Structure 1
Amino acid sequence: MKTPIDIAVTGAAGQISYSLLFRIASGELFGPDQPVVLRLLEITPALHRLHGVQMELNDCAYPLLQKVILTDDPLVAFKDIDYAFLVGARPRGPGMKRKDLLESNAGIFSEQGKALNEVAHRNVKVLITGNPANTNALITQRNAPDLSPKCFSAMSMLDHNRAIFQLAKKCGVRSKDVKNIIVWGNHSETQFPDLTHATVKGLSALTLVDENWIENEFVPIVRHRGASVIEERGGVSSAASAANAAICQMRSWVFGTETSDWSDWVSMAVISDGSYGVEKGLFFSFPVQVSSSGEVSIVQELEIDDFSKSCIKASVQELKDERKAIKHLL
């Protein structure tokens, strides 16, 4: 049996975490021979609910689950961790402006960044899923100056998966038949799901669907899918699909994309190095490849048409505006 790995999950009593924790504990993410320690962080008033989650985890009698630690202290939650899922974030309330949401979450993620900087392993992998995820990733990273920026990623796999399903449905195929979709930009309504390089059973997607469907159905559906789920579920977020995407993205990050037989790349929001005209330092969703050792590289030299460039530019501007709104907290 391998040495246990420590995994932190924040917002651990929330809906997304409830869909996430049992899958991690079962071995679905790290494999059937990898023991895990779950270090679960919650705000103090929610610790009693988190204890209920711990009771259920224990009652599953997972052979790989070595220990569950509950805490309201990020220094305890992040102590010597190998991986972190930063799920907990304040949702937007009635009448709350986006700037207010950004500032509210900036306090949460700046504190967590400082704690990660102090006590986490130096090669920790930190996946930010709490929204606004891209800017929360920036805040976390900026407050952890002793960790490499490559230790941080924001989740765009949910949008990537949504795009795969919509194209597969349109073409009457299974999701595994779709390859090389790209989601560019922010996890927001400015994101751009791009079919330029996508294939369906080896055929160019652009030869199978028309421009009208792409612009008037595909792109809007993917961009607004989260809101649509909330509306249909009566105010309940897309927790299960978000948890699934977190599993998918972390698995790609841990085990790599080199041996994948279903796609040449995945979409991940990583810190920009200036590729495709995206300002350096922003967390932006790109097509990436991951080595078997977990090294992430942005796919280079893809042809980008004028429409795609304009969409990328709009998402860059939104992220710059978000950064400006919380610059005093960076």
Structure 2
Amino acid sequence: MAEPIRVVVTGAAGQIAYSLLYQLAKGDVFGEKQPLSLHLLDIEPMMGVLNGVVMELQDCALPLLREVIPTADPAVGFKDVDAAFLVGAMPRKEGMERKDLLAANVKIFKAQGQALDQHAKKTVKVLVVGNPANTNSLICSKYAPSIPPANFSAMTRLDQNRAQAQIANRLGVPVNNVNKVTIWGNHSSTQFPDVANATVVTANGETKSVADAINDQAWLNGDFISTVQKRGAAVIAARKLSSAMSAAKAAADHMKDWWNGSPEGSWVSMAVFSDGSYNTPAGVMYSFPVRCSKGQWEIVQGLNLDEFARGKLDLTSKELLEERDEALAVCQD
């Protein structure tokens, strides 16, 4: 057996963590031979609930789980961690605008960036799940200057999974038959789910472009995009709570591919620091198609963007720049 790694989950008493922790402790993310110590960080009023989560983890009798450390102290929660899932944030509620979330949550991620800077390993991989995830990740990195910016990312894998599922359902094929769906930009209603380069193995075993298999460009440019963009709000309207099970699965998918490598011959969507690729604004957390290998990511280059796609990328870029400016202003207050 390998040496245990240390993994922190913030908001550990919450709904997303409740679905995520079992996946982590069972080996779905870091591997079936990788033992781990789980650091469970939440606020002081949630410690009673968190103790119940600890009991359940113990009762799962999971061989890879060597230690569980519940805490409300960031110095303990982030101590020597190898991977961080920053889930804890004020949740979006029905009717709430993203800007309402921004002011409340940006200070949380400033403080967590400072704690990571002081206590985590410099090689830590930090995945921000709490919304607005792209901008929270940007702020977190800004206040952790001793950790490389490339070690921070934000989750758009939920959007990718949602988009793949919509295509698969439309064509009546398993979801893993759909390949190379891309999410561009922000994890918000301005994101652009793009299938221009996507392929699908059809029900009769033939590999086709998604555009040819669907054969309905109006749907691909219309209802498909809006369904993916607004799926989070639709879940809230139905459950009266934000996405949890699907968000946890996406967080596990994201970290698994980042840690172990993305599937050969494909790519995944991650919000990472823009270097200006595809004429996007540098210095924001922007979702791109990326390939991962040996714990590193690289943006897939050379994809063609038509005028329709270019307009979508520019729209989500504008929102990310506005969010960045608002967040930096909040941090300076």
Pairing 1:165-314 to 2, within 5 Å after superposition: 165-201=165-201, 202-209=207-214, 210-233=216-239, 235-257=240-262, 260-261=263-264, 264-291=266-293, 293-314=294-315
Find the aligned partners of 2:98 and 2:292 in 1 and give their Cα distance. Answer: 33
Residue-by-residue CA offset, 1:98-148 (whole Å, 9 max, x unaligned):
434212111100000001011111110000000000000011000001110
2:289 aligned counterpart, secondary structure: strand
Partner of 1:99: 99
Cα 1:8/1:171, change in 2 over 3 Å: same
Contact kept, 8 Å, 2:19 with 2:244, in 1: the verdict is yes
CA shift for structure 1 position 170: 1.1
Cα 1:135/1:175, change in 2 over 3 Å: same
Partner of 2:204: none
Partner of 1:29: 29
Contact kept, 8 Å, 2:93 with 2:242, in 1: the verdict is no
Contact kept, 8 Å, 2:135 with 2:327, in 1: the verdict is no
Counterpart check, 1:80 vs 2:85: no
Partner of 1:114: 114
Find the aligned partners of 1:181 and 1:161 in 2 and give their Cα distance. Answer: 9
Contact kept, 8 Å, 2:85 with 2:129, in 1: the verdict is yes
CA shift for structure 1 position 231: 1.6
Cα 1:93/1:248, change in 2 over 3 Å: closer
Residue-by-residue CA offset, 1:58-104 (whole Å, 9 max, x unaligned):
11111111111011111110100000000000124577654342121
Amino acid at match of 2:219: W
Find the aligned partners of 2:244 and 2:155 in 1 and give their Cα distance. Answer: 13
Unaligned residue ranges in structure 2 (runs of 5+): 202-206
Deviates more, 1:42-51 or 1:87-96: 87-96
Amino acid at match of 1:244: K
Percent sequence identity over aligned pairs: 50
Find the aligned partners of 1:179 and 1:92 in 2 and give their Cα distance. Answer: 30
Residue-by-residue CA offset, 1:32-67 (whole Å, 9 max, x unaligned):
211110001001100110000001001111111111
Normalising by the residue count of structure 1, what TM-score does the alignment of the two structures yield?
Answer: 0.96
Cα 1:100/1:226, change in 2 over 3 Å: closer
Cα 1:55/1:289, change in 2 over 3 Å: same
1:34 aligned counterpart, secondary structure: coil
Pairing 1:125-144 to 2, within 5 Å after superposition: 125-144=125-144
Find the aligned partners of 1:93 and 1:35 in 2 and give their Cα distance. Answer: 36
Find the aligned partners of 1:269 and 1:34 in 2 and give their Cα distance. Answer: 26
Aligned length: 325
